Chain A
Amino acid sequence: MSADEQPLLSVRDLSVAFGSGSREVLAVDRISFDIRKGETLALVGESGSGKSVTALSIMKLLPYPAAHHPSGSVLFKGQDLLPMPERDIRHVRGNDITIIFQEPMTSLNPLHTIEKQVGEILLLHRGLTGEKARQRIIDLLTQVGIPDPETRLQSYPHQLSGGQRQRVMIAMALANEPDLLIADEPTTALDVTVQAQILALLGDIQKRLGMAILFITHDLGIVRKLANRVCVMSKGRIVEQGEVERVFTAPEHPYTKALLAAEPKPDPAPPMPDAPVVVQTDDLKVWFPIRRGVMRKVVGHIKAVDGISIDIRKGETLGVVGESGSGKTTLGLAILRLISSAGPVAFMGQPLQGLNFKAMRPHRRNMQIVFQDPYGSLSPRLSITDIVGEGLEVHHPSMSAAEREQRVIEALADVGLDPQTRFRYPHEFSGGQRQRIAVARAIVLEPTFIVLDEPTSALDMLIQAQIVDLLRDLQKRRDLTYMFISHDLRVVAALASRLVVMRNGKVIEQGAAADLFRSPKSDYTRALFAAAFKLETAPLDVVAQ
């Protein structure tokens, strides 16, 4: 690449601030980077570091005038986009620069067909209508690998899977053959297998159309696989940028080093074949009936969990993996008897089946759950003391307030939080701290068994590793038994002593985690592992699309 070649997009000294006066918050602080034609630049950093805001300000999609730019310019083909009037920038958006978002579930309008949504862009920027537009849409859908595009034209978004929706989003982004595609965490909401497919598709399209991609992600694996150059962002600044190889092999900034070292270290509890069984299920089923017609006759069932027999022994961690929709979470909820199920569940040798809410209450002390979303799992209107102490109120009604407070303090200290913060409300804490609070709420009752339902998926890499360390540490000190549900195999590998691979409500494979990771037996498991560890796609019939 010659030095005098003008970059396609050149961001110079860009700042973004929200609010005004004393409430002004600087989200992006004087960053500069270039994207040349046909190259992929990755923007990595933890959540809140200003990645998405940067992307949105290139498109000028921020909520102006609440957001404003104290400094900087965004030169696209030598033209500054920031002072450009709204009418002109609309010609750039969707035509020269396009964007795909993280959440394919909400970035398509649920009330319009695929044809209409893709067609809208063709109509706006090229004036294509009727048969010509239709041909182009089919052409685009074929390009992004949607099977039978003709029949899919009349589909609504809810009739497509998450991966297919993201493909439609990509088709819309490609419609006018843009020079620059901004991909804002396009695979974060997808399964690993689907993620691998989408990444392969993006790489393939880039090769064919020669466009530049600005790829925003927090996943270093993706960066390594896909990008030419990388910018590492932290707290609104670019702390390091350079060629991917150089940054990965010889990082300069301490933050980059920490990020690269943040892989959760695999040190799972060993399988304990002789320990007493804590949880046992035999042919456990959770079927949701499908009812049709006036009489609401049951015509079939959605088999979320379809005949699963597992046992979890004391001190072990049972990892449950599988794509979304495979019934992992439902299995966890069924074992805790939070949804109705069929088939015996035994906890510490006592049958739980058929117990009503009241009769379950004494058992609840010993079995707890930590949820995925640390923002949703804490009641926003209660202080931390109230949240953590709630279970104590239920199970130890005779406990005095001072005693309860003492227990809360101990639990908070145990999860590595300063107990002095217990008077605060959840919104004052970061995601990782909230997840620690959720863990404290579970352990304050001193349970024997905890279901961990994707406790790390909503967190940044650095914090994921910290939470994994915390969980492992607690397990050792308190002799806990875990059921660890996750689609993130790297985290599972760090914690699980045994592994259950689920698909469509059934167990595909189970066994000791070490053996399974070394030599998976089924094609599905192999595909899952390849996608997770090497971002490789599998033959179409093995995994869902």
Chain B
Amino acid sequence: MDALAKAAQNGRQPETQAIGPGGLVVPPERRLLALSPLNKRRWQNFKANRRGYWSLWLFMVLFVVSLFAELIANDKPFFIYMQGKAYFPAVVSYPETAFGGDFETAADYRDPFLQKLIAEKNGIVLWPPIRYSYDTHNLDLPTPAPSPPTWMLTEQQCKAVVERKGLSGCRDLEYNWLGTDDQGRDVVARLIYGFRISVLFGLILTIVSSVVGVAAGAVQGYFGGWTDLLFQRFIEIWTAIPSLYLLLIISSVLVPGFFVLLGILLLFSWVALVGLVRAEFLRGRNFEYIQAARALGVSNAKIMFRHLLPNAMVATMTFLPFILSSSVMTLTSLDFLGFGLPPGSPSLGEMLSQGKANVQAPWLGLSGFITLAVMLSLLIFIGEAVRDAFDPRKTFR
């Protein structure tokens, strides 16, 4: 190779390491998703924190499982095979007439009448393990709602239902593992859906507010001067607005759906990262390699994106799990106060407020509390592990 010959001619072997005894080194493979050595070390450090590592796994399992909530807790079976035809009620809506019913309305698969129709035609029905969705009302409650978990019921309590359905005892009833809420809806189903909506909401809020916050911080830090000064004053005024009251006012005017709520919370949550990123950019913009890039004529946008952003990402990554957990908390507290998601949505905050209203039904408050506590603890443990993994001064033994 021509270039190599030239290098040899120059006869000046570079000082140390990078070149082996023969003067040649096999170029390292560069795979597309290969981690850089630094990130590899961070991943090792993260794994070394057993608590955080297991928390991550546990959280990922819970989250992925809850993403398929429709296949776990649903009032529609996910598969029906009847008269040579396959049906997928969990994903497709069929009218009752499809199964030989009378009405053109959507089939209610929990209806004993419909179940009987299908059974008569030797249909095969595959149900999810829990046959309630988050909004399914249990019509056969043994006690007035909120009804305790089925395994806690005494024969006395379920006598009426057992007799009506012609069963032999309490244990033959369809189980509500954690009881029902004050409208007769299954608590487990609501927890699964509530967990999913909380985490999704938290994730979207975290990602969008991080993107906005990082962009705002980057612009302030990189350009400095008047841009920085004006922007900083604006943020000071903005954060001085008591956001909770404003939220209450806005949500009493607008009907707060998932995305309206996301928008409102985003208005205030993007400032969380601005200070951090701004500081990183302020520090970084005077680095010599930034000067060198400017001397090469590289454009501002490219310098910010390519040279400075990776620096700021360390601080951002460290904060993400904590922002995620605080986003979840915000949604929960709004729901708890009754200003959150629309009535009927599965939400952990609403579960807690029901628990507060029904002290005689501890399964509501306890289930809500334990779910939240586990979720937030897992996020905090992950956050701690991430923080330690990114800390260059931390030594692991």
Residues of A near any B CB (own CB < 8 A): 20, 66, 333, 336, 338, 357, 360-361, 364-365, 367-369, 371-373, 376-379, 381-383, 390-391, 394-395, 409-410, 412-414, 416-425, 428-430, 432-433, 436, 438, 441, 445, 463, 466, 469-470, 473
B156 on interface, CB distance cutoff 8 Å: no
Q: Out of B6, B13, B25, B37, which one reaches A425, CB within 8 Å?
A: B37
Give Cα A381 to B19, complex, Å. Answer: 21
Q: Nearest chain-A residue to B295 (Cβ)?
A: A369
Q: Out of A368, A410, A423, which one reaches B295, CB within 8 Å?
A: A368
Q: Which residues of B contact A378 (CB under 8 A)?
A: 289, 292
Q: Out of A369, A409, A466, which one reaches B291, CB within 8 Å?
A: A369
* Pairwise interchain contact B296-A376, C-beta atoms closer than 8 A: no
A-B contact pairs, 8 of them (CB 8 A): A395-B296, A413-B7, A414-B10, A419-B4, A424-B18, A428-B17, A429-B14, A470-B12
* Pairwise interchain contact A425-B36, C-beta atoms closer than 8 A: yes
Q: Nearest chain-A residue to B19 (Cβ)?
A: A418
Q: Nearest chain-B residue to A383 (Cβ)?
A: B30
A373-B18 contact, Cβ under 8 Å, with A395-B297, A416-B12, A424-B28: no
Give Cα A385 to B84, complex, Å. Answer: 63
Residues of B near any A CB (own CB < 8 A): 3-4, 6-7, 10, 12-19, 23-28, 30, 36-37, 287-289, 291-300, 306-307, 310-311, 395, 397
Q: Nearest chain-B residue to A410 (Cβ)?
A: B3
Nearest 4 pairs between A and B by C-beta?
A364-B297, A377-B288, A416-B12, A391-B296
* Pairwise interchain contact A423-B297, C-beta atoms closer than 8 A: no
Q: Out of A377, A379, A417, A438, which one reaches B14, CB within 8 Å?
A: A417
* Pairwise interchain contact A360-B297, C-beta atoms closer than 8 A: yes
What is the CB-to-nearest-CB distance from A473 to chain B, in angstroms, rounded to a whole number?
8
What is the CB-to-nearest-CB distance from A470 to chain B, in angstroms, rounded to a whole number?
7
* Pairwise interchain contact B15-A390, C-beta atoms closer than 8 A: no
* Pairwise interchain contact B14-A416, C-beta atoms closer than 8 A: yes
Q: How many pairs of A and B residues are in contact by the CB < 8 Å rule?
A: 131
Q: Which residues of B contact A336 (CB under 8 A)?
A: 295
* Pairwise interchain contact A390-B291, C-beta atoms closer than 8 A: no
* Pairwise interchain contact B7-A416, C-beta atoms closer than 8 A: yes
* Pairwise interchain contact B296-A390, C-beta atoms closer than 8 A: yes
Q: Which residues of B contact A438 (CB under 8 A)?
A: 292
Give Cα A466 to B13, complex, Å. Answer: 10
* Pairwise interchain contact A421-B292, C-beta atoms closer than 8 A: no
A338-B294 contact, Cβ under 8 Å, with A419-B7, A463-B15: yes
What is the CB-to-nearest-CB distance from A382 to chain B, in angstroms, rounded to a whole number?
8
* Pairwise interchain contact B25-A421, C-beta atoms closer than 8 A: yes
Give Cα A360 to B298, complex, Å. Answer: 11
Give Cα A430 to B386, complex, Å. Answer: 30
Sample of 15 further A-B pairs with CB below 8 A, known A368-B295, A416-B14: A377-B292, A378-B292, A413-B10, A417-B7, A418-B4, A418-B23, A419-B7, A420-B4, A420-B24, A421-B25, A423-B27, A429-B17, A430-B14, A466-B12, A473-B10
What is the CB-to-nearest-CB distance from A266 to chain B, in angstroms, rounded to a whole number?
19
What is the CB-to-nearest-CB distance from A423 to chain B, in angstroms, rounded to a whole number?
5
Give Cα A378 to B306, complex, Å. Answer: 13
Q: Which residues of A contact B291 (CB under 8 A)?
A: 333, 338, 369, 371, 377
Give Cα A445 to B296, complex, Å. Answer: 9
* Pairwise interchain contact B15-A416, C-beta atoms closer than 8 A: no
Q: Which residues of B contact A432 (CB under 8 A)?
A: 14-15
A376-B287 contact, Cβ under 8 Å, with A430-B16, A441-B292: yes
* Pairwise interchain contact B289-A379, C-beta atoms closer than 8 A: yes
* Pairwise interchain contact B7-A418, C-beta atoms closer than 8 A: yes
Q: Which residues of B contact A409 (CB under 8 A)?
A: 3
Q: Out of A357, A376, A416, A445, which one reaches B289, CB within 8 Å?
A: A376
A338-B287 contact, Cβ under 8 Å, with A416-B12, A418-B7, A423-B27: no
* Pairwise interchain contact B14-A373, C-beta atoms closer than 8 A: no
* Pairwise interchain contact B6-A413, C-beta atoms closer than 8 A: yes
Give Cα A377 to B299, complex, Å. Answer: 17
A394-B4 contact, Cβ under 8 Å, with A424-B28, A432-B14: no
* Pairwise interchain contact A381-B10, C-beta atoms closer than 8 A: no
* Pairwise interchain contact A394-B36, C-beta atoms closer than 8 A: no
A394-B297 contact, Cβ under 8 Å, with A377-B289, A430-B16, A432-B15: yes
* Pairwise interchain contact B310-A381, C-beta atoms closer than 8 A: yes
* Pairwise interchain contact A338-B296, C-beta atoms closer than 8 A: no
A371-B288 contact, Cβ under 8 Å, with A364-B295, A413-B10: yes
What is the CB-to-nearest-CB distance from A439 to chain B, in angstroms, rounded to a whole number?
11
Q: Which residues of A contact B25 (CB under 8 A)?
A: 418, 420-421
Q: Out of B27, B295, B395, which one reaches A420, CB within 8 Å?
A: B27
Q: Out of B10, B297, B298, B397, which one reaches A416, CB within 8 Å?
A: B10
* Pairwise interchain contact A365-B297, C-beta atoms closer than 8 A: yes
What is the CB-to-nearest-CB distance from A379 to chain B, in angstroms, rounded to a whole number?
5
Give Cα A263 to B4, complex, Å. Answer: 29
Q: Out of A365, A394, A433, which one reaches B18, CB within 8 Å?
A: A433
A433-B14 contact, Cβ under 8 Å, with A390-B298, A418-B25: yes
* Pairwise interchain contact A423-B18, C-beta atoms closer than 8 A: no
Q: Which of B27, B30, B289, B291 has the most CB of A within 10 A?
A: B289
Give Cα A338 to B297, complex, Å. Answer: 10
* Pairwise interchain contact A433-B15, C-beta atoms closer than 8 A: yes
Give Cα A373 to B306, complex, Å. Answer: 20
Q: Out of A357, A365, A413, A423, which one reaches B3, CB within 8 Å?
A: A413
* Pairwise interchain contact A364-B7, C-beta atoms closer than 8 A: no
Q: Which residues of A contact B296 (CB under 8 A)?
A: 364, 368, 390-391, 394-395, 441, 445
Give Cα A410 to B299, complex, Å. Answer: 25
What is the CB-to-nearest-CB distance from B396 to chain A, in angstroms, rounded to a whole number?
10
Q: Which residues of B contact A390 (CB under 8 A)?
A: 293, 296, 298
What is the CB-to-nearest-CB distance from B218 to chain A, in angstroms, rounded to a whole number?
16
* Pairwise interchain contact B12-A20, C-beta atoms closer than 8 A: no
Give Cα A214 to B17, complex, Å. Answer: 31
Give Cα A473 to B18, complex, Å. Answer: 23
Q: Which residues of A contact B397 (CB under 8 A)?
A: 20
Q: Which residues of B contact A423 (CB under 8 A)?
A: 27-28, 30
Q: Which residues of B contact A361 (CB under 8 A)?
A: 297
Give Cα A430 to B299, complex, Å. Answer: 29
Q: Which of B16, B295, B310 has the most CB of A within 10 A?
A: B295
* Pairwise interchain contact A372-B18, C-beta atoms closer than 8 A: no
What is the CB-to-nearest-CB distance from A25 to chain B, in angstroms, rounded to a whole number?
13
Q: Nearest chain-A residue to B12 (Cβ)?
A: A416
Q: Nearest chain-B residue to A387 (Cβ)?
A: B289
A436-B14 contact, Cβ under 8 Å, with A372-B288, A377-B288, A425-B36: yes
Q: Which of A377, A413, A424 has the most CB of B within 10 A?
A: A413
What is the CB-to-nearest-CB distance from A99 to chain B, in angstroms, rounded to a whole number?
22
Q: Which residues of B contact A395 (CB under 8 A)?
A: 296-297
Q: Which of B10, B17, B18, B292 has the most CB of A within 10 A?
A: B292
* Pairwise interchain contact A394-B298, C-beta atoms closer than 8 A: yes
Q: Which residues of A contact B37 (CB under 8 A)?
A: 425
Q: Which residues of A contact B295 (CB under 8 A)?
A: 336, 338, 364, 367-369
Q: Which residues of A contact B299 (CB under 8 A)?
A: 357, 394
Q: Which residues of B contact A421 (CB under 8 A)?
A: 18-19, 25, 27
* Pairwise interchain contact A414-B288, C-beta atoms closer than 8 A: no
Give Cα A421 to B299, complex, Å. Answer: 27
Q: Which residues of A contact B311 (CB under 8 A)?
A: 381
Give Cα A473 to B12, complex, Å. Answer: 12
Q: Which residues of B contact A463 (CB under 8 A)?
A: 15
Give Cα A368 to B297, complex, Å. Answer: 10
Q: Nearest chain-B residue to A418 (Cβ)?
A: B19
Give Cα A414 to B4, complex, Å. Answer: 10
* Pairwise interchain contact B19-A419, C-beta atoms closer than 8 A: no
What is the CB-to-nearest-CB distance from B293 to chain A, in angstroms, rounded to a whole number?
7
Q: Out of A376, A413, A445, A466, which one reaches B288, CB within 8 Å?
A: A376
What is the CB-to-nearest-CB distance from B193 to chain A, in angstroms, rounded to a whole number?
41
What is the CB-to-nearest-CB distance from A92 to chain B, in angstroms, rounded to a whole number?
27
Give Cα A53 to B164, complex, Å. Answer: 86
What is the CB-to-nearest-CB distance from A371 to chain B, in angstroms, rounded to a whole number?
4
What is the CB-to-nearest-CB distance from B20 to chain A, in angstroms, rounded to a whole number?
9
